[in-house]
Amino acid sequence: MSIRASLSSVSRRTFVAPAAFQIRAKHTLPELPYAYDALEPSISKEIMTLHHTKHHQTYVNGLNAAEESYSAAVGKEDVLTQVKLQSALKFNGGGHINHSLFWKNLAPYGSEEATLSEGPLKKAIEESFGSFEAFKKKFNADTAAVQGSGWGWLGLNPLTKKLEVTTTANQDPLLTHIPIIGIDIWEHAFYLQYKNVKPDYLAAFWNVCNFAEAQRRFDAAVKA
């Protein structure tokens, strides 16, 4: 659920808040389509449990709190508070969006979904990067190079309709491309298992990447 526009008009001295602004429903933590231990040995049960029930839940709670405060600020015609809340909305909203996508981007270890099959997505990857192995090498290198926390993405450029590897900082969602594959590179996603060795985590990710979901996203993106 996105936040409705809060400013109907702004002048030098007056601000009119939209009377219809309200939070329609609270965001909730999505259920995982697999068990917490389904990704082992690539991603441990301990990491998945903490990542989902603690970290993602924190973003959900933060987003709900920020939206409630924002709604109250609109009702009070408090523009300054609305502006102050933008960072909390972006951070927690982005965290909720990114993680909701990330869970669907994973599939049980050894499952059929975790194998890239012949089809439009594989063909597009080969056209854009030369080969699937070359794509993974670039994706892993660019994502490992993220300083601090962030996300690595394979996205479809909506202008060129080409696949590109890109990254975002912190919990910023991918806005410049249509996300096809995304990976959380925050330490909470891997440190308990892989310590500070990001490349090992990135290499293991491909054993549990849900390529069937990526194919569905790609099919929808090229038609958009």
pLDDT of residue 25: 78
pLDDT in tens, 84-106: 999 999 999 999 999 999 999 99
Residue 1 pLDDT exceeds 50: no
Q: What residue spans define the domains of the chain?
A: 112-223
pLDDT in tens, 108-147: 999 999 999 999 999 999 999 999 999 999 999 999 999 9
Residue 96 annotated as lining a ligand binding site: no
Residue 177 annotated as lining a ligand binding site: no
Sequence letter at residue 18: P
Of 54 and 23, which is predicted with more confidence? 54
pLDDT of residue 55: 98
pLDDT in tens, 162-213: 999 999 999 999 999 999 999 999 999 999 999 999 999 999 999 999 999 9
Residue 27 annotated as lining a ligand binding site: no
Per-residue confidence band for 24, with pLDDT thresholds at 50, 70 and 90: low
Residue 99 annotated as lining a ligand binding site: yes
Sequence letter at residue 24: R
CA-to-CA dists, residue 162 to 127, 146, 152, 155, 193, angstroms: 9, 22, 17, 8, 34
pLDDT of residue 224: 83
- The pTM assigned to this predicted structure is 0.87
User: Is the domain 112-223 a CATH 3.40.50.2000 member?
Assistant: no
pLDDT of residue 220: 97
Q: What is the 3-state secondary structure (H, E, C) of 95-151?
A: HHHHHHHHHHCECCCCCHHHCCCCCHHHHHHHHHHCCHHHHHHHHHHHHHCCCCCEE
Cβ contact 89:64 at 8 Å: no
Cβ burial of 198 (10 Å; 0-12, 13-18, 19+) is: buried
